[in-house]
Amino acid sequence: MLLFKWFLCAALLSEIAMSPWLWVASRRFPTVPVLPFVPDLPQVPTVVLSCLLVLSIFLVAFSPRPRPFIYAFLVLGTALVVFDIDRLQPWFYQYLLAFLALSLMDWSEPESPRSKAAWAASCLIPACIYFWSGLQKTNFIFATVIFPWLLHPLGLDHLSGLWFLAPAFETSVGLLLIYPRTRTWGLFGAAGMHGFILLVLGPLKMNYNSIVWPWSFWMVAMEVVLFWRTSEPLFRLAWPVGLSRAVAVAIGILPVLNYADLWDGFLSASFYSGRLRDGWLYLSPRGAAEMPKAFQGTLVRETDEYFRLDITQWAIIEMNVPPYTQERVYLDIVAKLEREGVERDQMNLFVRDRQAPWSRSNTFSQIPIP
């Protein structure tokens, strides 16, 4: 677990380094608190919290007894998320759960029940992510839009009809990692899958969404140290201890609620599935002129009657991460633009509808602006 701790800290630091504007308040993409009554946190305390967060990661990495620093990281990370939900990226949520699992580790007794529960919960996190990520991709939007888009840079468009193999393979990797006798096969499958992601999204092909690159690399590294030549059961070791059971429920059970829209997509391994609720803001020429000058470069003029602002692309350009893709987040962004001087009746918000797995086309709804 020592090597896993080092890799986990290195992974988190690399992700933070690649998304520096996510961790400050003075940026062009608005911060969105978790709840409406939470005030915006000014720049100086935000930077202080972020610096303390980075310091806590270093202390976890190099301390022989890191539990107090793990707790500090969890408190600081949660506080930063409370003041801006966009920081609750899928990878940050994953690492928060991993640190929570790591807090169980008894470094003086690595074979104790708590230490084994820490290991088991740490293993369940990537395994369940693969399991749910594969299931989320079992839909026609992934089949007709996302999968062909991923194949196109490799010149493999003719294989688009085999889309169903991708979710089946990813879900199988998760199951193979859970069962002791098949973990080696699961490791090879995970390495191949992340290699494909790095090839397609990396600088050699699309050069897109670079925040995924270190995540893919460190996922494989952490899985090797967690799963290589281990044969102990995961759920049986994780379930008796309260914190590890909470991790197992959060990553293994709660994502099923996403199908009823009761659990957010970012917390349900739904990225690149075609099921996230992307948002677009359409502004009249007058509304576009009222936009702060710092934001106007993100507008695209589609017709003489309106300008379009792709909220996802705006977030990626400004912070190198997508926004937290929920309707309430988009409405908060609209409210902040209104406070910046854009009149409400000059803006129209459209959000991609949640599609049933068997739906063959995207539909979009105009969201009333309160």
Helix intervals (H) in 202-340: 212-227, 234-238, 242-252, 285-290, 293-296, 311-319, 327-339
Q: Would you place residue 298 in the very low, low, confident or very high pLDDT band (cuts 50, 70, 90)?
A: confident
* Nearest in space to 48 (alpha carbons), one of 29, 67, 76: 76
Average pLDDT, the chain: 94
Q: Which residues contact 51 (CB under 8 A, 6 or more apart)?
A: none
Q: Is the pLDDT of residue 38 over 90?
A: yes
Q: Is the pLDDT of residue 362 over 90?
A: no
Length reported for the chain: 370
Q: Is the pLDDT of residue 256 over 90?
A: yes
- Span 262-282, average pLDDT: 93
Q: Is the pLDDT of residue 360 over 90?
A: no
pLDDT tens sequence across 90-102: 999 999 999 999 9
Q: Would you place residue 354 in the very low, low, confident or very high pLDDT band (cuts 50, 70, 90)?
A: confident
Q: Is the pLDDT of residue 15 over 90?
A: yes
**Percent of the chain beyond pLDDT 90?**
85
pLDDT tens sequence across 107-129: 999 999 999 999 999 999 999 99
Q: What is the pTM of this model?
A: 0.94
pLDDT tens sequence across 208-254: 999 999 999 999 999 999 999 888 999 999 999 999 999 999 999 99
- What is the rounded distance in angstroms from the CA atom of residue 1 to the CA atom of residue 5? 6
Q: Is the pLDDT of residue 295 over 80?
A: no
In the chain, where the domains are located: 2-19+89-267, 279-367
